[in-house]
A = this chain, B = another copy of it.
């Protein structure tokens, strides 16, 4: 009998997500899952230690803590006016070209102190956690100089510690051209020589916004190669407004993922499926910008590794809820509830290199457990805006 400090008993259903158990129990010790299974089996195997937390799971279900592998959760300033202008028909790319969009947030972030940014980010991450997200990737990309980019990632880690969200940092130096840059080529050099080394202590990956009006494949390539040489994983924003070669570049360089994919056609789908590069779909962003939804069903049918994330950011997705993403995955992306949950837990864990740590309710994994206030765990997908009963 193994001693444990947490037992959740009589759960109506548990999605691990690879299997679905009914009338189940979960036991954990020191933040690690020790046992999960039919309740009699679990209760035979473990012994609650003195002072252990015992939760009556009757009427509830459990899923793994959600893993949001694509966010821009550190920012300052407001872009509500831009939202209202888009609602009235002004396109996102036109607003960006007029100095709004990402550049507006860069100015606000550079003008904020690290303390101000941390306070704003703690509030956002706490809300994410209340909505079931226990692991989040957070990108830089609103600083665009070495000091500001590194500060953003420090803020993300500090805020994650306060809010109880595990953070994975990504250096998104090639997000937009800062006003002081002489040219794209010059800024790529700055990114490689200054921003990348400054961010490295706080980052496990890098990312680029590969898009018309942002950076080309040939501009991204040296930055990605420099990052790879430092042992960082590679991510790419690709195919959001146009197919500009993100997928072939990602496959060539062995990137962890290409994210967005609203415009991805058959060749791109095939390449992703054959390569195993993860396809990160961001339906909230497509909803906000009225873009076509990413071809998640076709990707899944082709055998690609489909992943879901929020893209939480002040411009194109001011929405932090992975539960909303689960809902959109079922209503707009034609994924089943089981496919959606896997794409929000174990698949993004793998994108972040955390596939042995989070994203599964199995022995040895982190005890990040989201309790849903319904006997059927699929309520997490069904009810838009579901608030979980509790995040353990």
Contacts and interface: CB of A to CB of B under 8 A. Distances in A.
A360 interface: no
Interface residues of A, number: 39
A288 B81 CA distance: 28
A80 B379 contact: yes
Contacts of A385: 131, 319-321, 324, 385
A336 B382 contact: no
A331 interface: yes
Given A89-B334, A337-B84, A337-B87, A324 B384 contact: yes
A88 B333 CA distance: 10
A332 interface: yes
A282 to B, nearest CB: 13
Contact of A383 (B319, B328, B330, B332): B319
B287 A331 contact: yes
A72 interface: no
Interface string A71-87: 00000001011011011
B331 A87 contact: yes
A87 B287 contact: no
B83 A332 contact: no
Contacts of A382: 80, 83-84, 318
8 tightest Cβ-Cβ pairs between the two chains A and B: A319-B384, A87-B330, A83-B382, A80-B382, A84-B337, A80-B376, A80-B378, A318-B383
Interface of A: 78, 80-81, 83-84, 86-89, 131, 284, 287-290, 318-321, 324, 328-332, 334-337, 340, 374, 376, 378-379, 381-385
